Amino acid sequence: MSRPAHVLETAIYADDLDAAQAFYRDVIGLEEIRRDGDRHVFFRCGPGVVLVFRPEATERPPGPGALPVPPHGARGPGHVCFAAEPDGIEAWRARLTAAGVAIEQQIVWPGGGRSLYLRDPAGNSVEIAESRIWSPSAHD
């Protein structure tokens, strides 16, 4: 049986798309792909895509003429993690501090690597981590 090559997209949910759009575009620095009114805003992140949906809009079937994507949604804080270069954690800390974003927690993982945790405007947990936190040797 074949395995997936990588995560193509991940979704988080936010009631205020304007705030989410500004945060992920201006603070995190993701490239905006498109926004569909008050339903969703999509961002490119490396080879993948971060989808930000307004749950109230996606819990209902799409309207006429829209792609027939099944209803979905979540309530409460979700989680997304962005990879930082090994020397990038301190640059991220400075960037977030300059943007007025509080760092909720910093973790130095037992197998190596560091993570910064913060909250987006919707309360989702956002992690900026060194990729090595998921290297095979970090979990032996």
CATH number at residue 90: 3.10.180.10
Decide if pLDDT at 22 tops 90: yes
**Which is nearest to 28 in space by CA: 70, 74, 91?**
91
- CA 28 and chain centroid, separation: 9
Name the 3-class secondary structure at 36. strand
* 50 assigned to some structural domain: yes
The total of other beta-carbon atoms located within 10 Å of residue 14's CB is 23
* 69 assigned to some structural domain: no
Question: Model's pTM, two decimal places?
Answer: 0.89
* 99 assigned to some structural domain: yes
* 92 assigned to some structural domain: yes
**Domain around 58:** 9-63+74-139
Residue 78 has a pLDDT of: 94
Q: The tokens 């109230």 sit on which residue?
A: 56
- 47-90, pLDDT tens digit by residue? 999 999 999 988 887 777 777 788 888 888 999 999 997 678 99
* 3 assigned to some structural domain: no
Structurally, the chain folds into a number of domains equal to: 1
